[in-house]
């Protein structure tokens, strides 16, 4: 599976963010899905042993939004206009998890995407449907400054 690049300071994927989750994303071309295996530390709990809902939503936003890059390339960055999250059961901390994202439809102005967080047995703890659009021009200008750091770090 092809690994996608990451940024320096993104909370979800940033390689150098000291409080970030540092997720790595891989393209599963056979399934047309983007995947990330990870464990959320207790540091990000809401209730004891349960991942905070905002963190769950953040991971779903990232994995579903990045799925567009599988079809459109690593430079196709869109912004979330709408994110609908369904919490199906508590997502546990300190437990192996997998985030999966996929594209439902791409258009000239954006995309409809979806995602899930799953336990190792495949049980879905949360899912999302999102609408992504082209970001404003100000974002694109600041992104150009960060673009040289959008890469895969090799050990």
In this structure, what DSSP letter does residue 55 have?
H
Write the CB contacts of 17 (distance below 8 Å, at least 6 apart in sequence): 8, 9, 10, 11
* Spatial distance between the Cα atoms of 87 and 22, rounded to a whole number of angstroms: 23
Task: Pick out the chain residues at pLDDT < 70.
Answer: 74, 154-155
User: Which domains does the chain show, CATH number per domain?
Assistant: 27-137 (3.10.129.10)
Q: Quote the mean pLDDT of the chain.
A: 93
Spatial separation of the C-alpha atoms in residues 112 and 67, rounded to whole Å: 10
Q: What is the pLDDT of residues 112-123, one digit of tens each?
A: 999 999 999 999
């Amino acid at each position: 599976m092809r690994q996608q690049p990451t940024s320096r300071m993104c909370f979800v994927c940033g390689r150098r963010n000291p409080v970030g989750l540092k997720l790595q994303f891989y393209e599963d071309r056979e399934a047309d899905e983007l995947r990330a295996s990870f464990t959320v530390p207790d540091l990000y709990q809401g209730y004891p042993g349960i991942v905070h809902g905002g963190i769950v939503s953040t991971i779903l936003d990232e994995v579903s939004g990045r799925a567009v890059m599988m079809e459109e390339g690593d430079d196709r960055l869109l912004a979330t206009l709408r994110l609908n999250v369904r919490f199906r059961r508590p997502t546990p901390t300190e437990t192996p998890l997998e985030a999966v994202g996929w594209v439902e439809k791409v258009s000239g102005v954006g995309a409809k995407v979806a995602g899930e967080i799953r336990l190792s047995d495949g049980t879905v703890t949360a899912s999302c449907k999102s609408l992504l659009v082209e970001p404003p021009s100000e974002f694109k200008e600041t992104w150009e400054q960060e673009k040289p750091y959008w890469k895969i770090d090799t050990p």
